[in-house]
Structure formats: structure tokens, C-alpha cells
């Protein structure tokens, strides 16, 4: 049973097929799954509390997986892209980190209350490489690094209860919003960044495989990249592609139009070691 949440069951014109909860439910059920869409504004504490009470009551206290992916800052980040933090409104902090961080903590607390007594469960924070080094703006990077640290620290306290908490980094993802943005964009660097990007479903496939992994607890507290999980679990994207890792040297060179021509000459197995990758975020 899947319970997707969001602010809109249908769009403003009443269309249930326009990227809304009803559309999500229809797609899940068309593939043979069961789905109960739940309208919830993740900026409102009382609606979050009611959501988990609903899950507890209707699912007999059982919650197997929580994916913290609610976010409300895409438009604001795009609008102020390139402006330094002091030229952005103070509200940028709350826009980015209320739903994108504080809400994740709240949902994790409520989920843990159900998972710990059952000694089973997986909590996933959807984060990004913005937690390692500067990306987009200051509030974004702080929020993503905090998501990663939350997973690591929560995992310490959850481990003895056999509940796992991880942070997942997708690579560039073609969401509906990104797709519309790229179609209207004349920015070559922006388009290059999303070349070969993964679909919105690839992360979901990784999470399903992760939840089935008998060695799941060995990964608890870690940052996991979707392309690396894809290779470990032999996953391909919805169009059959193997997704490239941001640790691949050819992938890194391919993000810049001036070096993209080198990409085709380098094999996929030449990767930056994790220890070297982590140096990017060193603060010592």
C-alpha cells in the first residue's frame, strides 16, 4: 500500500490527471498497486500529525517505509538563482528549510514511533550533492547537509531497534518542472547539466531494492547515490538506460560544455574514489 501526500488532489481546474495526487494514484493502480492519496500540506504541523494518525489507525500501526521528499523551494531557488544570500529575501531560509528539513524531522519522529515497536522499517531522506559543496544557494546547501546529518545521527539511535535511516542522492532528475524549464531555456550549460538525467522513478526503484536488501542495516546512516545503488542491484531506468554516477570522470567532464567532448573517450569505470569525493566538503 502506497500513501503519497501533497497539497493538491486535483489541479485548480479540477483535472485529476495533471500531475496531482489523484493522477499518481491512478498510475500506481494501473500498474497493479494499491494507493491511497492523502492531501497534506507539509508546512502545517497539525496536518502532518493527522497524516501519521491516519496511517497508524488505518494500517494497524504498520509503516514499512517513509520517504522524506516534500519540498517547496524549487520556484524560489529558480527565481533568485545567481543572487548572493544577502540579496535574497530572509524568507528564503524558511521556504527552503521548513518543508525541506524541519518537516523531514517531524515525519521521522512520527514514523519512528511506529517502526521502533515493530523493530522494522526504513526511513529515507532525499538529499543531494548540495550537502557536500555549494549548489544553488546558501539555504539549499545548509538544508541538504542537515538532511544527511539527520540520517546519520538518527541511525545511531535507531540501530538497536533494527530501523534503518539513510540519505539518498539522486543525480540530476527530469521532474515535470525541470522538463518544462529545459524546454523554455536557452541556457546551454543548464541543458548540459541534465543530459542523461534520471527519471523520477529511478530513485523509487532504488528504494524498493534497498528495502528488500537483507543487509539493509549495514547501509544505515550512510549517504547512498542512486547510480551506485542501480549498479549494485542491477537496475535500469524506465527507458532501459544504466544511469551514470557523478563519481565517473566522464560524467563530471560532460557537465561542462567546454569539456563535454572528452566524455566519449573515457570509460565508465574510471571513477573518483569516495575519499577524494568527500574532500570536496572538507571544512578543515
Nearest to 173 by CA among 209, 129, 210, 134: 129
Contacts of 249 (CB under 8 A, 6+ apart): 266, 270, 271, 272
Query: Annotated catalytic residue: which of 71, 80, 140, 233?
Result: 140
CB 126 within 8 A of CB 170: yes
80 is an active site residue: no
Q: How far apart are CA 95 and CA 62, in angstroms?
A: 31
**How far is the C-alpha of 53 from the C-alpha of 47, rounded, in Å?**
10
Which cell goes with 200? 523520477
* Residues whose CB is less than 8 angstroms from the CB of residue 130 and which lie 6 or more positions away in sequence, other chains included: 136, 140, 141, 144, 145
Helix/strand/coil for 67: strand
C-alpha cell at 122: 526504513
**Could you please report the per-residue DSSP string of 200-267?**
HHHHHHHHHHHHH-TTGGGGTT-EEEHHHHHHHTT---TTSPPPPPTTBHHHHHHTSTTTGGGGGGS-
Q: State how beta strands 223-225 and 163-169 pair.
A: parallel
Residues with catalytic function: 140
Amino acid at each position: 500500500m502506497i500513501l503519497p501526500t501533497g497539497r493538491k488532489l486535483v489541479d485548480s481546474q479540477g483535472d485529476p490527471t495533471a500531475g496531482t495526487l489523484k493522477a499518481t494514484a491512478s498510475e500506481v493502480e494501473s500498474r497493479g498497486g494499491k494507493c491511497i492519496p492523502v492531501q497534506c500540506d507539509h508546512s502545517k504541523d497539525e496536518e502532518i500529525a493527522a497524516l501519521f494518525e491516519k496511517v497508524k489507525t488505518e494500517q494497524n500501526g504498520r509503516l514499512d517505509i517513509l520517504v522524506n521528499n516534500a519540498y517547496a523551494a524549487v520556484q524560489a531557488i529558480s527565481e533568485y538563482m545567481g543572487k548572493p544570500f544577502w540579496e535574497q529575501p530572509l524568507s528564503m531560509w524558511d521556504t527552503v528549510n521548513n518543508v525541506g528539513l524541519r518537516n523531514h524531522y517531524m515525519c521521522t519522529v512520527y514514523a519512528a514511533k511506529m517502526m521502533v515497536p515493530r523493530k522494522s522499517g526504513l526511513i529515507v531522506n532525499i538529499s543531494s550533492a548540495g550537502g557536500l559543496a555549494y549548489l544553488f544557494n546558501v539555504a539549499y546547501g545548509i538544508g541538504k547537509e542537515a538532511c544527511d546529518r539527520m540520517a546519520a545521527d538518527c541511525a545511531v539511535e535507531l540501530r538497536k531497534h533494527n530501523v534503518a535511516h539513510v540519505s539518498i542522492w539522486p543525480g540530476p532528475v527530469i521532474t515535470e518542472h525541470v522538463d518544462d524549464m529545459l524546454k523554455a531555456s536557452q541556457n546551454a550549460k543548464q541543458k548540459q547539466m541534465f543530459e542523461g538525467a534520471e527519471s523520477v522513478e529511478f530513485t523509487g526503484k532504488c528504494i524498493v531494492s534497498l528495502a528488500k536488501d537483507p543487509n539493509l542495516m549495514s547501509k544505515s546512516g550512510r549517504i547512498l547515490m542512486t547510480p551506485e545503488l542501480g549498479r549494485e542491484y542491477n537496475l535500469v531506468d524506465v527507458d532501459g538506460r544504466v544511469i551514470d554516477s557523478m563519481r565517473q570522470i566522464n560524467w563530471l567532464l560532460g557537465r561542462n560544455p567546454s569539456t563535454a567532448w572528452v566524455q566519449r573517450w573515457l570509460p565508465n569505470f574510471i571513477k573518483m574514489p569516495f575519499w577524494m569525493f568527500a574532500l570536496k566538503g572538507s571544512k578543515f
